[in-house]
């Protein structure tokens, strides 16, 4: 199933927060993304309905297997593309912003080719 860029960003944010925090709540996502909690609540409802996250009675958010798969794919793209852009001289802030845009629209074929090239030529 194809999901939109916004949903991918939420899933990636949940993954990143889960690496830093003992539990992830809607307020943590709102703070991380600088969004209103009401916007996050609507997004989390949609992610839950579509089977990408689980929300406990206490409000703790966890990724399902399918949500984690998407989040890890986007996170890998973001990390590799950011490092690559920085390595070729792009300012860190610009590289991070550009990688965030690129990660959602690049085909798997193009990303695999870039990843292979970077791994074999740049030692990133």
**pLDDT single digits (tens) 35-93:** 998 889 999 999 999 999 999 999 999 999 999 999 999 999 999 999 999 999 999 99
The parent domain of residue 115 ranges over 77-121
64 and 14 within one domain: yes
CATH number of the domain residue 17 falls in: 1.10.10.10
24 and 60 within one domain: yes
CATH number of the domain residue 113 falls in: 1.10.60
> Is the confidence at residue 2, as pLDDT, over 70?
no
64 and 16 within one domain: yes
HSE (side-chain half, CA atoms, 13 Å) at 45: 6
Locate 97 and state its tokens.
């912003």
Q: Are 84 and 124 in contact (CB under 8 A)?
A: yes
57 and 93 within one domain: no
Task: Indicate the pLDDT class of residue 3, thresholds 50, 70 and 90.
Answer: confident
13 and 38 within one domain: yes
Work out how many domains the chain is built from and give that number: 2
> Is the confidence at residue 11, as pLDDT, over 90?
yes
73/88 Cα distance (integer angstroms): 23
Question: Which pTM value belongs to this model?
Answer: 0.88
What is the rounded end-to-end Cα distance, in angstroms, of the chain? 31
27/30 Cα distance (integer angstroms): 5
Task: Indicate the pLDDT class of residue 123, thresholds 50, 70 and 90.
Answer: confident
């Amino acid at each position: 199933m194809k999901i939109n860029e916004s949903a991918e960003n939420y899933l990636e944010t949940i993954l990143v927060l889960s690496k830093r925090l003992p539990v992830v709540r809607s307020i943590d996502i709102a703070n991380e993304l600088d969004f209103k909690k009401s916007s996050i609540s609507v997004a989390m409802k949609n992610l839950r309905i579509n089977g990408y996250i689980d929300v406990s009675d206490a409000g703790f958010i966890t990724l399902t297997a399918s949500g984690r798969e998407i989040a890890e794919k986007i996170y890998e793209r973001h990390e590799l593309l950011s490092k690559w852009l920085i390595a070729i001289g792009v300012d860190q802030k610009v590289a991070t912003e550009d990688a965030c845009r690129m990660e959602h629209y690049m085909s798997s074929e193009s990303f695999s080719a870039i990843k292979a090239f970077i791994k074999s030529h740049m030692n990133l």
